[in-house]
């Protein structure tokens, strides 16, 4: 199976909102409500932000939200802050497989 | 608190094998899957496979079938990758995950360098 498709980059100014998309297929994103989003800062391990499409992991600010429509999931970061600058990866359960997106570098201008 | 502690960096020659360990603590080891994910320098995350410590069941990404073996003992998971190539140079992570693949705790990563 192919990786999920994410835009390579996204950006926004402090206080603004930005949305990152993640497109898969009916066999993964579209077929299950088990999409996760991870944040990764340089040199660090990934951190779970969102699971089951829209549930925030413990300690994650409510500025982060997730949604899904058809074969595309989305992560929205509202009220951008400098510390949100990082790489973001989506991931989907796909039966006996797990898929990752290629990652989106979020820049806070 | 939940911890996954991985073994140290490795340097290998092409054609060799590497075995990375991931020691779990402060949770019921058999209650969660262990996933292995790698990240080549400057690249994205790549899922390699998972093991269910409850029954030793494994699922491997098609790309690694025949080259990867995931095992475990009491509280430690292992990932062995054989017939190493230079493009296997990457940081290898283990992660605790539920059945639906949400990985809430990650190891610190193990750098595997493959060079002649």
What's residue B99's pLDDT? 86
Give chain B positions within 8 Å (CB) of A1: 62
| Residue contact A34–B44, C-beta within 8 A | no
The DSSP annotation for A16-78 comes to --EEEEEE--TTTTTT-S-EEEEEE-TTS--EEEEETTTEEPTT--TTEEEEEETTEEEEEE-
Give the 3-state secondary structure percentages of chain B, helix then strand then coil, rounded to 5: 10, 55, 40
Asked if B107 is an interface residue toward chain A (Cβ–Cβ < 8 A), one would say yes
B115: burial class by Cβ within 10 Å (0-12, 13-18, 19+)?
Answer: exposed
8-state DSSP, A101: B
CA nearest to A64, candidates A34, A28, A90: A90
Per residue in B6-50, pLDDT (tens digit) is 999 999 999 999 999 999 999 999 999 999 999 999 999 999 999
One pLDDT digit (tens) per residue for chain A, 109 residues = 678 999 999 999 999 999 999 999 999 999 999 999 999 999 999 999 999 999 999 999 999 999 999 999 999 999 999 999 999 999 999 999 999 999 999 999 9
């Amino acid at each position: 199976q192919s990786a999920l498709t994410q835009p390579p980059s996204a950006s926004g100014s402090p206080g603004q909102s930005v949305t990152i998309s993640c497109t898969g297929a009916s066999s993964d994103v579209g077929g299950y409500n088990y999409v996760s989003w991870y944040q990764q800062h340089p040199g660090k391990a990934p951190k779970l932000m969102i699971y089951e499409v829209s549930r925030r992991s413990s300690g994650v600010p409510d500025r982060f939200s997730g949604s899904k429509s058809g074969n595309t999931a989305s992560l929205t970061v509202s009220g951008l802050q400098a510390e949100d600058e990082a790489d973001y990866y989506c991931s989907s359960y796909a039966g006996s497989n797990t898929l990752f997106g290629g990652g989106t570098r979020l820049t806070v201008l | 608190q939940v911890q996954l502690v991985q073994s140290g960096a490795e340097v290998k020659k092409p054609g060799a094998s590497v075995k990375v360990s991931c020691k779990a603590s402060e949770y019921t080891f058999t209650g969660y899957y262990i996933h292995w994910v790698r990240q080549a320098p400057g690249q994205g995350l790549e899922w390699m496979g998972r093991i269910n410590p409850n029954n030793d069941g494994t699922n491997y990404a098609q790309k690694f079938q025949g080259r990867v073996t995931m095992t475990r003992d009491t509280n430690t998971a292992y990932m062995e990758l054989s017939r190493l190539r230079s493009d296997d140079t990457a940081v290898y992570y283990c992660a605790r995950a539920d059945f639906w693949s949400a990985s809430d705790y990650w190891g610190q990563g193990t750098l595997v360098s493959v060079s002649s």
